[in-house]
Amino acid sequence: MSELSPTERSTIHRGRKRAVTDRDALHAVLDAGLICHLAFVADGAPVVLPTGYGRHGDTLYLHGSTGAASLRAAGAGAEICVNVTLLDGIVYSRAVFHFSANYRSAVVHGQAEPVTGREEKLAALRVITEHLAPGSWDYAREPNQRELAATAVLALDLTEAAVKIRTGPPGDEPEDLDRPTWAGWLPLHRSWGTPRDCPLLPDGVAVPAHVTGRPAPDQDTRDSATG
Amino acid sequence: MSELSPTERSTIHRGRKRAVTDRDALHAVLDAGLICHLAFVADGAPVVLPTGYGRHGDTLYLHGSTGAASLRAAGAGAEICVNVTLLDGIVYSRAVFHFSANYRSAVVHGQAEPVTGREEKLAALRVITEHLAPGSWDYAREPNQRELAATAVLALDLTEAAVKIRTGPPGDEPEDLDRPTWAGWLPLHRSWGTPRDCPLLPDGVAVPAHVTGRPAPDQDTRDSATG
């Protein structure tokens, strides 16, 4: 497992015991998320918006309309920051001060590179589509020339990244432990509902297996951890 | 219902039909979220991190350790941006180009004001705690002087904000509608698991009603909408 980058801004100063420094953990968080939060600077002020993404190796792909201000701002060689956070539960402590959340969070810093070649763009869009909706790239119609031109794709290298994971019970003060106050954590789960048909669907088109059989979103397998 | 702000950066240019311009919708999204994403600029580059928050009226409160770089950067009168996004489902379309997500997303821009007075700080922390873990402020031990001093609290006015909501089926091209390709959406639900006891809990301390009876996280009541 390779170490994550050690630059100043990607070094976790708060809660260092929660920092995870191997690349497999970074990949796992990015793969478990469904959307990311993309931050960029516009007119000197920060902006953060939800965005679709996908990961291939140590590259994160983002996409959006070529008309979107976020993609334009982020694509001009400017610095961006991407965060993927999975909230795994709420931590109830004996003291208000120690209330917290269990979560897995990945932060990536860097300059996004526009993906422009036709084959590269199609490959990146396949990664993003398969992340959002596995099994869909080979099932749905591929982008045509016009659609491809209307889609901006960015590549972000995962070199400068940090992962922070919190699991288990609260970190109360020793003097509070005897209080008759309940403390623990309430896990948060994500699940898929029943697929809903588009009202314009022709008769007889069934929900495909890659939708009905889509694996449940990654649960916090660390629910039972005490760390 | 008052209109949300009309400044350039809070005006939604993409997918304008998805923009929601009343303040009740903004409050509803902020109240349904559990954590927010806080973006700030550090050394000229954007940073986005997950953060706890709570809303009271048209003020959003954020908190963190006084040692956290994010709270320091955001508290010095600098511009910040907060995003709360609830992912409600994945939208499967007939064409890869139209894959999307159903979501509710709120973006707030502004300068955060540090909350410093003891009473104001306690009131803000109550708002944040009750947002994260309803019923906990009166149940758990209040912050003492040392804990209060170690907690940074910021207030962000909700004046400059935008809400974007997407629901229902994909927006496929007319020429694709006859394809024998399934299209629709897969709702994503959030639910609480079974409360887990802190291993250090004294015998006989039961899980309180505000935890066992915590209402399910807001589901997308618009699952069945077609708009």
Q: In this predicted model, what pLDDT tens digit does every residue of B126-169 receive, in sequence order?
A: 999 999 999 999 999 999 999 999 999 999 999 999 999 999 99
Residues in chain A within 8 Å Cβ distance of B93: 140
Q: What is the mean pLDDT of chain A?
A: 88
Nearest CA in chain A to B208: A182
Q: Mean pLDDT lowest for which of A86-95, A128-137, B200-209, B214-223?
A: B214-223
pLDDT at A99 over 70: yes
B80, B200, B211, B226: best mutation site toward chain A, by most A Cβ within 10 Å? B200
Q: What is the CA radius of gyration of chain B?
A: 20
pLDDT at A163 over 50: yes
**How far apart are the CA of B128 and the nearest CA of chain A, in angstroms?**
10
Q: Which pLDDT does position A222 carry in this prediction?
A: 43
**Mean pLDDT confidence for A168-191:** 97
When comparing pLDDT for A2 and B147, which is higher? B147
- The ipTM (two decimal places) reads 0.89
Query: Considering only CA atoms, which of A28, A167, A49, A23 is closest in space to residue B36?
Result: A49
Tokens of A223: 């629910």
pLDDT at A145 over 90: yes
Q: Does B180 touch chain A (CB under 8 A)?
A: yes
Query: Considering only CA atoms, which of B95, B188, B156 is closest in space to residue A194?
Result: B188
Nearest CA in chain A to B149: A97
User: 3-class SS at A181?
Assistant: coil
Percent of chain A whose pLDDT exceeds 70: 81
Nearest CA in chain B to A97: B143
Q: Does B44 touch chain A (CB under 8 A)?
A: yes
Nearest CA in chain A to B16: A68
Q: Which pLDDT does position B72 carry in this prediction?
A: 67
Out of A35, A46, A137, the one facing B79 most closely (by C-beta) is A46
Domain residue ranges in chain A: 16-212
Q: Does A188 touch chain B (CB under 8 A)?
A: yes
What is A16-212's CATH topology?
A: Pnp Oxidase; Chain A (2.30.110)
Asked if B50's CB is within 8 angstroms of A103's CB, the reply is: yes
Q: Mean pLDDT lowest for which of A76-90, A112-126, B70-84?
A: B70-84
For chain A, the distance separating the N- and C-terminal CA atoms, rounded to the nearest angstrom, is 21
Q: Which pLDDT does position A3 carry in this prediction?
A: 44
Q: Which regions of A22-126 does DSSP assign to beta strands (E)? A: 36-42, 45-51, 53-56, 59-65, 79-92, 100-111, 113-114
The kind and range of the H/E element at A124 are helix A118-132
Tokens of B71: 């709270």
- Contacts for A88 with CB less than 8 Å, ≥ 6 apart: A101, A102, A103, A104, A167, A187, A188, A220, A222, A223
